[in-house]
Chains A and B, each alone.
Chain A
Amino acid sequence: MAEPTTGRRELLDIRNLGVSFETATGPVQALRNAQFAIPRGRTFALVGESGSGKSVTAQAIMGLLPANGRITGGTIEFFGKRDGGAVDIARLSPSSKAMRALRGDRIAMIFQEPMSSLSPVHTVGNQVTEAMRIHTRASRAEAADAAMALFHRVGFRDPKAMLRTYPFELSGGMRQRAMIAMALICDPVLLIADEPTTALDVTTQAQILHLIRELQDERDMAVLLITHDLGIVNTMADEIAVMFRGEIMESGTRDQLLRDPRHPYLRALMRAVPRFHMMPGERLVPLREIRLPAVAEAPASPGAPRDVLSVEGISKSFYPRAAPWARKRQAIPAVTDVGFTLKAGRTLGIVGESGSGKTTVARIVTRALAPDAGRIRFDDGSGLTDITDLDPGRLKAFRRWIQYVFQDPHSSLDPRMTVEQILTEPLTVHRDGTPAQRRERAAELIELVGLNRRHLKRYPHSFSGGQRQRIGMARALALSPSVIVCDEPTSALDVSVQAQILNLLRDLQARLGLSYLFVSHNLAVVDYMADDIMVMCRGMVVERAPRARLFSAPVHPYTKVLIAAVPDLDIDRPLDVAAAGAVLRPGDWPEPFRIGPEPARSAMVEVAPDHFVRYGDAAIGAVA
Chain B
Amino acid sequence: MTRYFLRRFATMAVTLLAISVLIFVVIKLPPGDFLTMRIQELMAEGDSAAAAKADFLRRAYGLDLPGWQQYLSWIGLWPRAGAYSGLLQGNFGWSFEYDLPVIDVVGDALGATLIVNLAALVFIHLLAIPLAVFTAVRRRGIVAEAITFLAYLGLATPSFLLALILLFYLNRWFGISIGGLVDPDLADAPFSLEKLGSITVHLIVPIVVIALASTAAMIRRMKANLLDELHKPYAVTARAKGLGPTRALLKYPFRMVLNPFVADIGNMLPGLISGSVLVSLVLSLPTVGPILVQALRMQDQYLAGFILLFVAVLTVVGMLIADLVLALIDPRIRFGK
Q: State whether A100 touches B330 (Cβ < 8 A).
A: no
Q: State whether B231 touches A66 (Cβ < 8 A).
A: yes
Interface presence of B6 (CB below 8 A): no
**A117 to B238 alpha-carbon distance, docked (Å):** 9
Among the listed stretches A101-109, A211-219, A418-426, which one makes contact with chain B, having 4 or more residues with CB under 8 Å of it? A101-109
**A109 to B233 alpha-carbon distance, docked (Å):** 12
Q: State whether A64 touches B332 (Cβ < 8 A).
A: no
Q: State whether B239 touches A103 (Cβ < 8 A).
A: yes
Q: State whether A113 touches B242 (Cβ < 8 A).
A: no
Q: State whether A135 touches B242 (Cβ < 8 A).
A: yes
> What residues of B have a CB within 8 angstroms of the CB of A66 in the complex?
231
Partner of A100 from the list B236, B244, B331, B335 (CB cut-off 8 Å) is B244
With A116-B233, A119-B255 known as contacts, the answer to whether A130 contacts B331 (CB < 8 A) is no
Interface presence of A518 (CB below 8 A): no
Q: A396: shortest Cβ distance to chain B, in Å?
A: 37
Interface presence of A169 (CB below 8 A): yes
Interface presence of B78 (CB below 8 A): no
Interface presence of A161 (CB below 8 A): no
Q: State whether B241 touches A118 (Cβ < 8 A).
A: no
With A104-B240, A166-B331 known as contacts, the answer to whether A117 contacts B233 (CB < 8 A) is yes
Q: B296: shortest Cβ distance to chain A, in Å?
A: 38
Interface presence of A332 (CB below 8 A): no
Over the window 159-192 of chain A, the binary record of Cβ atoms lying under 8 Å from chain B Cβ atoms (1 yes, 0 no) is 0000000101100000000010010000000000
Q: State whether B252 touches A100 (Cβ < 8 A).
A: no
Interface presence of B50 (CB below 8 A): no
Interface presence of B237 (CB below 8 A): yes
> What residues of A have a CB within 8 angstroms of the CB of B252 in the complex?
119, 122
Interface residues of B in 241-281 (CB under 8 A from A): 241-245, 251-252, 255-256
Q: A27: shortest Cβ distance to chain B, in Å?
A: 18
Give the number of chain A interface residues (Cβ < 8 Å): 32
**A142 to B242 alpha-carbon distance, docked (Å):** 19
Q: State whether A104 touches B233 (Cβ < 8 A).
A: no
With A104-B242, A121-B256 known as contacts, the answer to whether A169 contacts B335 (CB < 8 A) is yes
Q: State whether B232 touches A116 (Cβ < 8 A).
A: yes
> What residues of B have a CB within 8 angstroms of the CB of A104 in the complex?
240-243
**A166 to B334 alpha-carbon distance, docked (Å):** 11
> What residues of A have a CB within 8 angstroms of the CB of B238 in the complex?
119, 130
**A476 to B329 alpha-carbon distance, docked (Å):** 46
> What residues of B have a CB within 8 angstroms of the CB of A179 in the complex?
237
Q: State whether B330 touches A121 (Cβ < 8 A).
A: yes
Q: State whether B236 touches A131 (Cβ < 8 A).
A: no
Q: State whether B234 touches A117 (Cβ < 8 A).
A: yes
Partner of A120 from the list B243, B251, B332 (CB cut-off 8 Å) is B332
Question: Which chain B residue shows the least CB distance to A95?
Answer: B245
Partner of B242 from the list A100, A116, A122, A123 (CB cut-off 8 Å) is A100
Interface presence of B337 (CB below 8 A): yes
With A100-B242, A111-B236 known as contacts, the answer to whether A119 contacts B256 (CB < 8 A) is yes
> What residues of B have a CB within 8 angstroms of the CB of A166 in the complex?
331-332, 335
**A233 to B232 alpha-carbon distance, docked (Å):** 27
> What residues of B have a CB within 8 angstroms of the CB of A62 in the complex?
240
Interface presence of A369 (CB below 8 A): no
Interface residues of B in 80-137 (CB under 8 A from A): none
Interface residues of B in 213-245 (CB under 8 A from A): 231-234, 236-245
Q: B303: shortest Cβ distance to chain A, in Å?
A: 39
Q: B144: shortest Cβ distance to chain A, in Å?
A: 14
Q: State whether A111 touches B242 (Cβ < 8 A).
A: no
Q: B248: shortest Cβ distance to chain A, in Å?
A: 10
Partner of B236 from the list A64, A102, A135 (CB cut-off 8 Å) is A64
Question: Which chain A residue shows the least CB distance to B236?
Answer: A64
> What residues of A have a CB within 8 angstroms of the CB of B256 in the complex?
119, 121
Partner of A131 from the list B242, B255, B332 (CB cut-off 8 Å) is B242
Question: Which chain B residue shows the least CB distance to A105?
Answer: B242
With A119-B256, A121-B255, A121-B256 known as contacts, the answer to whether A134 contacts B233 (CB < 8 A) is no
**A101 to B242 alpha-carbon distance, docked (Å):** 6
Over the window 109-148 of chain A, the binary record of Cβ atoms lying under 8 Å from chain B Cβ atoms (1 yes, 0 no) is 1011100111111110000001100110000000000000
> What residues of A have a CB within 8 angstroms of the CB of B231 in the complex?
66
Over the window 34-45 of chain B, the binary record of Cβ atoms lying under 8 Å from chain A Cβ atoms (1 yes, 0 no) is 000000000000
Q: State whether B237 touches A117 (Cβ < 8 A).
A: yes
Q: State whether B240 touches A103 (Cβ < 8 A).
A: yes
Question: Which chain A residue shows the least CB distance to B334?
Answer: A166
> What residues of B have a CB within 8 angstroms of the CB of A131 in the complex?
241-242
Q: A434: shortest Cβ distance to chain B, in Å?
A: 46
Q: State whether B242 touches A103 (Cβ < 8 A).
A: yes
**A562 to B240 alpha-carbon distance, docked (Å):** 34
With A111-B237, A116-B232 known as contacts, the answer to whether A130 contacts B243 (CB < 8 A) is yes
Question: Which chain B residue shows the least CB distance to A179?
Answer: B237
Q: State whether B234 touches A118 (Cβ < 8 A).
A: yes
Q: State whether A134 touches B242 (Cβ < 8 A).
A: yes
**A95 to B245 alpha-carbon distance, docked (Å):** 8
**A369 to B233 alpha-carbon distance, docked (Å):** 34
Q: State whether B244 touches A121 (Cβ < 8 A).
A: no
**A483 to B234 alpha-carbon distance, docked (Å):** 42
Question: Which chain A residue shows the least CB distance to B232?
Answer: A116
> What residues of A have a CB within 8 angstroms of the CB of B232 in the complex?
116
> What residues of B have a CB within 8 angstroms of the CB of A102 in the complex?
242
Q: State whether B332 touches A121 (Cβ < 8 A).
A: yes
Question: Which chain A residue shows the least CB distance to B245?
Answer: A95
> What residues of B have a CB within 8 angstroms of the CB of A109 in the complex?
237, 240
Partner of B332 from the list A103, A113, A130, A168 (CB cut-off 8 Å) is A168
**A476 to B251 alpha-carbon distance, docked (Å):** 47
Question: Which chain B residue shows the least CB distance to A62?
Answer: B240
Partner of A108 from the list B233, B240, B332 (CB cut-off 8 Å) is B240
With A116-B233, A119-B234, A119-B255 known as contacts, the answer to whether A134 contacts B241 (CB < 8 A) is yes
- 5 smallest beta-carbon distances between A and B, as pairs: A104-B242, A104-B241, A117-B233, A103-B242, A131-B241
A-B contact pairs, 15 of them (CB 8 A): A64-B236, A95-B244, A103-B240, A109-B237, A119-B256, A121-B256, A121-B329, A121-B332, A122-B255, A134-B242, A135-B242, A166-B331, A168-B332, A179-B237, A182-B237
Supplied contacts A66-B231, A105-B242, A168-B332, 5 more A-B pairs, CB within 8 Å: A104-B242, A117-B233, A119-B252, A122-B251, A135-B242
